Amino acid sequence: PVAEVKMLLMMVTAGLSCHFFTSLLIVAAFCVTSIDGLEDGKLGTGGVKMVDDTWRRNALDAVPDIALLHAPFTPFNNDSTRSLNVDVIPAMAKTAANFGVTVIWTCGGMGEFYTMNVDERKSINEAWVKSGHDNGLYVIAHVGTTVLSDAIEMAQHAKSIGADAVATVPPYYETPGTIDELVEFLKAIADAVTPLPLYYYHIPGSTHVNINAADLLAAASTALPQLLGIKFVSSDNDDWFNCVQSYNNTHVLMYAPEPKLQSFVLGLGRGAVLAEDFFAPTYIRMHREYLNNNHAKAQSEQEWKFRASSVFSQYGGGLAERNVYRKINGVDLGPRRLPTASFDENNYQPMIDGLNKVGFFNQTW
């Protein structure tokens, strides 16, 4: 215990000469400081601070220059329990990389994390960390849940298998009432895996945690230094603007809402939340044209994405998107878990025909 170590150091130095007493006091002060730091998680071995400006620079350097985030669908077998089908994840990782994706966010909303138990989510994270790294992808393991101990367990597992970072949603049933309460919840996860970076999943429409992301970043600057980035899934453009104005150089800010083009004017973050990997090429083209002052071409890319998205909406939305991989790479992701209905197979060929009409399968970047 720290208190007993302090007492022992004082007793040892008490009977020594003044010269040695002074020298040992210096050593004792260093040791006690190091032990105190280890106790509260702020310092690493030998008293070296684990989360500081150097840590942040290194953590930011590890992130791709343009963070194009894909939150993959979870593949299920077409059986009575919709069991996991992790065997197809290597093919999905290769496809994502080929489309231009640079970041994987495991077990997100599209990945139906809320239907999976802890062991299943660990299996998904293992498969994506392995396959993602094999394809040069930065992998963020989402461990969010309302059960804090489960989130910590999954975060520690993610660290052990080599994930690049962990992420979490806020508690979404009994929600935090203040920023301080939210930080306390996030800090318990972050402290369990320091120095691994933490990302916050800001999706108030689903979690009903209606805080401003900019306020969280402000509080985290001292109370939660491990917070490296935010997946921003909110229509509050004022909040996004405030985030990028104050924190764009120190955090990984990734914008999800449509139209993506609006974020270019409000302030480009480090990247974008594509959700679907097959929309990476149009984002890359849009981004390039905007930076080259070809704004009309950038607008045409946004318009093209709306047309492609409307085809999916016409034939089942997310269910249709899951099934388009049968055409893209021959992978059947299976049905979604209950209570979501199954894909209407009669919609498959009309969907493919509609996508062919807009040139969906002929994208280049």
Average pLDDT over residues 99-113: 97
The whole-number pLDDT of residue 36 equals 36
> Each residue of 5-54: pLDDT tens digit?
344 334 333 443 334 333 333 333 333 333 333 333 343 333 335 789 99
pLDDT of residue 49: 52
Cβ-proximal residues to 3 (8 Å cutoff; 6+ apart), any chain: none
Alpha helices in the chain (DSSP H): 2-14, 18-40, 53-61, 89-99, 118-134, 148-160, 179-193, 204-207, 213-223, 237-247, 261-266, 280-291, 295-314, 318-328, 348-357
The backbone torsions φ and ψ at residue 175, rounded to the nearest 5 degrees and listed phi first, read -90, 150
Measured CA to CA, the distance from residue 127 to residue 297 in angstroms comes to 38
User: Using an 8 Å Cβ cutoff, are 93 and 134 in contact?
Assistant: yes
pLDDT of amino acid 35: 33
Beta-bridge partners for 313: none
Per-position DSSP letters for 186-252, written without gaps between them:
HHHHHHHHTTS-EEEEE-HHHH-----HHHHHHHHHHH-TTEEEEEE--S-HHHHHHHHHHHTTTSE
Token representation of residue 124:
């998904």
349 has a pLDDT exceeding 50: yes
> Taking a C-beta distance cutoff of 8 angstroms, is the pair 82, 76 a contact?
yes
Residue 275's beta-bridge partner residues?
A: 70
Least confident of 49-63, 147-161, 233-247: 49-63
Q: What is the pLDDT of residue 42?
A: 40
In the block, tokens 């350097």 appear at 61
Q: What is the DSSP letter of 43?
A: B
Q: What confidence tens digit (pLDDT) does each residue in 161-203 have? A: 999 999 999 999 999 999 999 999 999 999 999 999 999 999 9
Q: What is the DSSP letter of 260?
A: T
Active-site residues, by number, are 201, 231
**Stretch 117-141: mean pLDDT:** 98
Predicted TM-score (pTM) of this structure: 0.87
> Cβ atoms within 10 A of the Cβ of 363, count?
17
What tens digit of pLDDT does each residue of 281-338 get?
Answer: 999 999 999 999 999 999 999 999 999 999 999 999 999 999 999 999 999 999 999 9
Q: How far apart are CA 50 and CA 34, in angstroms?
A: 12
DSSP 3-state of 69: strand
What is the C-alpha to C-alpha distance for residues 135 and 152, in angstroms, rounded to an integer? 27
